[in-house]
Chains A and B, each alone.
Chain A
Amino acid sequence: MKLITAIIKPFKLDEVREALSTVGIQGMTVTEVKGFGRQKGHTELYRGAEYTVDFLPKLQLAMALPDDQVELAIETLCAAAHTGKIGDGKIFITRIEQAVRIRTGESGESAL
C-alpha cells in the first residue's frame, strides 16, 4: 500500500478529481496549504506597508492506494494537474505500513 501525497495548484482540483475518478480511483483527502518551490511570490501593499509574500496557496491531496494502482494514479494526476508553468507541484510516494477501515475494522488492502 502506498500513500500518494500531491501538491497541486488549487484551481486544478476539479480536473484532477474527475480524471482520477474516470480511471477508477476514488477517495482522497484535501488540505489547503501554502508553499513555494521555484515559483515567485508577489508583493502586497497596504497604505505605506509593503509585504513580499513568498508563500502561495496550494492544495495537498492525500490518497492511499494499493501498489498496482500507483503508476496509473501518478500518470493521471500529472496529466490533469499540469499547466507547464512553474509551480505545478510535486508528488511524493511513501509506503503505508498498515491501514484500517474504522466502520468495519478491516485492515490491509481491503481497507483502502
Chain B
Amino acid sequence: MDKADLIWVSFSTLLVMLMVVPGLALFYGGLVRGKNVLSILLQVISTFTMAIAIWFLYGYSLAFTKSNAVIGGFSRLLFSDLTGLADQHWPMSGTIPELSFATFQATFAGITCALIVGGIAERARYKAVLAFTAIWLTLGYLPIAHMVWAPGGWLFERGALDFAGGTVVHINSGIAGLVGAYYIGKRIGYGRESMQPHNLPMSMIGASLLWIGWFGFNAGSALAANQTAVLAFVNTLLASAAGVIAWVIVEWQYKGKSSLLGAISGAIAGLVGITPAAGLVGINGAWIIGLASGTTCVWGVNGLKHWLGADDALDVFGIHGVGGITGALLTGVFNARALGGPGLKSMAEIPLQLWLQLEGVLVTVVWSALAAWLAFFLADKTCVMRVNAEVERDGLDIHLHGETGYHR
C-alpha cells in the first residue's frame, strides 16, 4: 500500500462530498424560488445518502466486479471481504485498499443521483424522487459505470476514454434530468411568471464549493499521488478558468452584459468538459476543452434549451449533458501526443478514438434515457411523481416538509 496514494484518494473523497453537501445543494438552492429552497436542499442530501446506501448494499458490486460486459456480479455485496478483519489482509485496488476505492466511487454514484433533481426541481414529490433514485441508480448508473470503467466492461474494452466521469456522471445525469423534465412537465407559469433565482449569492457559494471539490473529483480519479494526478489537477484549474472566460465573453457578445450566474455556470461548464479528459489530455488541450465547453453550454442553456422545449429547471442537461458530450468527444482528439496529450501516438489514430468516444456518448445517452424513462414511470406509478397544483403554487417546503426557509 502506498500511503501518499491513500491520503490523496481519501482526501479526494472528502472533496467530492464537499461538492454535494454543501456545494451542489447550495448551488441548486439559490437557483430555485424561496418557497422551494428547502425541498431542493433536502432532495440533494437524500438522493446522495440513498445512493451511498445502495452502493454499499449492491451498487459497488454490480458496478465494479467482473461478470459480463454490461454489469458486474454479486461478489462484493455489502462491501463483503473488503475488510479482511480476521487476517488483517485487505484486498487492494492498485496501491490503495479496495475499500478506499469503493468509498471514493460511492461519492460519484451519489453526486450523479443528486444532480438529476435539478431537472425536475420545484414540482417533484419527495418520496417519488427517492423511489426514482433507487431505480435509476440500479438501472442507469451501475451498468454505465461498469461498461465504461470496469475491466471487462463493454466500452472499457472497446477503448472509450473517460477519466473521471464525463459519460458516467455528467452525460448520464444530464440525460436523466432532461427525460425527467419532459416526463414531469413544465412548472406552472413557466414562461409567463417570474421564476428568478431567489438567492444568487447562495448559488455562488455552492458553485465555488463545487469548483474546489472538483479537484478531488478529477485529480482523485488518478487513484494515486502521481503525475497523472498532477496533470488532472492543473487541467481542472485551466479548464474551469477557460470556461468562465468563454461564458463571460459569449454572454457579453450576445446579451450585452456578463452576469454572475453566467460566470459560475461557465466554471461548471469548463469543469464538466474537462472531467472525461482530466488526466488524458495536455494542458493546451485543457484550455481548449474549457473554452469549448464554456461556449457550447451557453448554447445549451439558451438556444438548445428553447429548441428542446423541456423545463429543465436547473439546466442539468444544458450544462452537464452538453458539457459532458463536448468534453467526451474532445478527449478523443486531445489525447493525442501530437496535441500535447499522453495517449495516442499519432494523429492518424484520432478518427478511430473520436469514433470510440462517440460510441461511448451514444450508448450512454440511449441507455440513460431508457433507464430514466422507466425509472420515472415506475416512481410515478408507485408514488406519483408530480405534486398537485396547490402544493406547487404554495411551495414544496411548507406542504411537503412542514418548514419554511425564511421568516419575515
Contacts and interface: CB of A to CB of B under 8 A. Distances in A.
Interface of A: 44-49, 51, 53
A48 B259 contact: no
Contacts, number: 27
A45 B197 contact: no
Contact of A49 (B195, B265, B303): B195
Give the dominant DSSP class at A's interface.
Answer: strand
Given A44-B196, A47-B262, A51-B196, 15 more contacts: A45-B255, A45-B257, A45-B259, A46-B197, A46-B261, A47-B261, A47-B302, A47-B315, A47-B318, A48-B305, A48-B306, A48-B318, A49-B195, A49-B196, A53-B194
Contacts of A45: 255, 257, 259
Contacts of A47: 261-262, 265, 301-302, 315, 318
B256 to A, nearest CB: 9
Contacts of B262: 47
Contacts of A49: 195-196
A44 B305 CA distance: 18
Nearest to A51: B194
Interface of B: 194-197, 255, 257, 259, 261-262, 265, 301-303, 305-306, 315, 318
A56 to B, nearest CB: 14
B289 to A, nearest CB: 21
Contacts of B261: 46-47
Nearest to B313: A49
Contacts of B257: 45
5 contacts: A47-B301, A47-B302, A48-B318, A49-B195, A51-B196
Contact of A48 (B194, B196, B197, B302): B302
A45 B196 CA distance: 9
B254 to A, nearest CB: 11
B96 to A, nearest CB: 39
Contacts of A48: 301-303, 305-306, 318
A19 B346 CA distance: 80
Q: Tell me which of A44, A45, A51, A53 has the highest count of chain B C-beta atoms within 10 A of its own C-beta.
A: A45
A51 B192 CA distance: 9
Nearest to B312: A48
A56 B52 CA distance: 46
Contacts of B259: 45-46
A44 B255 CA distance: 11
Contacts of B197: 46
Contacts of B255: 45
A16 to B, nearest CB: 24
A95 B336 CA distance: 83
A49 B255 CA distance: 12
A46 B301 CA distance: 10
A11 B265 CA distance: 33
Contacts of A51: 194-196
Nearest to A48: B302
A78 to B, nearest CB: 31
A51 to B, nearest CB: 5
A9 B149 CA distance: 60
Contacts of B315: 47
A48 B257 CA distance: 13
Nearest to B247: A47
A48 B298 CA distance: 8
A80 B301 CA distance: 46
A38 B196 CA distance: 24
Contacts of A53: 194
Contacts of B305: 48
A46 B302 contact: no
A92 to B, nearest CB: 25
A51 B190 CA distance: 11
A47 to B, nearest CB: 4
B320 to A, nearest CB: 14
The 7 closest A-B pairs by CB, nearest first: A48-B302, A47-B301, A48-B301, A48-B305, A51-B194, A46-B261, A46-B197
B186 to A, nearest CB: 12
